[in-house]
């Protein structure tokens, strides 16, 4: 069974919206979802691109096979850019007309039809328009360009995310500290079970909780990291059984 309807419902998109955005009629999409009709290869690719999921996943293949197939699939920078513009708008729950009108209040003039062509990848925004869109959606320009984000940019996105949900609050700092310890426990469990997926997720969650905790404490996590590196960069010592022991401790 394919995942067309499941993915559309998860993203809270109507058949009408999919039809308008992809150029595939709502009636046909409905038949695809009910498996009364099989999409052609190019249609699977178009819908997977639209929903920002692998083709294999959308087709309903098992997760392990999806991961294997996905390694061979590539997307162009323009694909990534158009996907991210659409995802950001959907996250706000706005129509293109609402986004266009809202941007006008910020002094940005991009008609709904132009937004549509950007999202569908039919037209590439010039750098000034891309900067305007990044400003409006409150994301780094590199994110919209499809470039890898650096730590500072990711940290700002996490902080914005936390502020939007009223998580950052000095009064909630003890609870946030407990979240850090909980994620450390999840990491320990993942290591003990040799579960690479859990290890990766836990490390990411630990970083998120530390960023939020550092904001509660009014310190910059990157400054803390730089400070720690400045301390260890010239440190001498010896690695014993996989553990680095600094020079001063070797003689105790």
Quote the tokens at residue 206: 């630990």
CA distances to 177, 239, 246 from 243, in Å = 27, 5, 10
pLDDT at position 83 is 67
| Secondary-structure breakdown of the chain: helix, strand, coil percentages, each rounded to the nearest 5 | 70, 5, 30
Q: What is the pLDDT of residues 209-220, one digit of tens each?
A: 999 999 999 999
Q: Give percent above pLDDT 70 in the chain.
A: 89
Q: How confident is the model at residue 62 (pLDDT cuts 50, 70, 90)?
A: low
Mean pLDDT confidence for 107-135: 86
- Residue 57: is its pLDDT beyond 60? yes
- Residue 77: is its pLDDT beyond 50? no
pLDDT at position 119 is 82
- Residue 73: is its pLDDT beyond 70? no
3-class SS at 240? strand
Tracing tokens 């010592």 back to the chain, one arrives at 237
CA distance 49 to 29: 15
CA distances to 66, 125, 134, 206 from 157, in Å = 28, 22, 12, 15
Mean pLDDT confidence for 93-112: 90
Q: What is the pLDDT of residues 151-174, one digit of tens each?
A: 887 888 888 888 888 899 989 899
Q: Whose CA is closest to 235, among 246, 250, 251?
A: 246
Q: Whose CA is closest to 1, among 47, 60, 44, 55?
A: 60
pLDDT at position 252 is 61
pLDDT at position 78 is 56
CA distances to 62, 72, 132, 176 from 66, in Å = 6, 10, 36, 35
Q: What is the pLDDT of residues 18-34, one digit of tens each?
A: 898 888 999 999 999 99
Q: Show the CA angle centred on residue 86, arms to residues 19 and 10, nearest 5°.
A: 70
Count CA atoms closer than 13 A to 177's CA, side-chain side. 7
Full set of structural domains in the chain with CATH: 4-70 (1.10.260.40), 77-145 (1.10.260.40), 151-219 (1.10.287.1080)
For residue 243, the surrounding DSSP H or E stretch is: strand 243-246
Average pLDDT of the chain? 83
């Amino acid at each position: 069974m394919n995942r067309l309807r499941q993915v559309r419902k998860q993203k809270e998109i109507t058949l009408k919206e999919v039809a308008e955005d992809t150029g595939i009629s709502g009636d046909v999409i409905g038949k695809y979802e009910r498996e009364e009709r099989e999409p052609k290869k190019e249609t699977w690719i178009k819908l997977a691109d639209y929903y920002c999921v692998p083709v294999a996943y959308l087709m309903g293949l098992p997760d392990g096979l999806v991961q294997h197939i996905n390694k061979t699939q590539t997307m162009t920078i323009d694909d990534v850019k158009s996907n991210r513009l659409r995802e950001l708008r959907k996250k706000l729950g706005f129509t293109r007309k609402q986004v266009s009108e809202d941007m006008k209040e910020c002094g940005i003039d991009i008609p709904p039809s132009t937004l549509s062509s950007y999202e569908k990848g039919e037209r590439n925004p010039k750098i000034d328009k891309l900067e305007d869109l990044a400003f409006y959606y409150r994301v780094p320009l590199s994110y919209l360009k499809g470039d890898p984000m650096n730590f500072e940019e990711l940290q700002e996105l996490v902080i914005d995310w936390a502020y939007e949900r009223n998580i950052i609050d000095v009064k909630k700092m003890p609870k946030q500290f407990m979240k850090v310890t909980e994620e450390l426990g999840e990491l320990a469990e993942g290591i003990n079970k040799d579960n690479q997926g859990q290890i990766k997720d836990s490390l990411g969650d630990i970083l998120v909780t530390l960023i939020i905790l550092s904001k509660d404490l009014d310190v910059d996590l990157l400054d803390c990291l730089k400070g720690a590196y400045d301390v260890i960069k010239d440190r001498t010592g010896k690695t014993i059984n996989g553990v680095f022991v600094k020079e001063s401790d070797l003689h105790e």
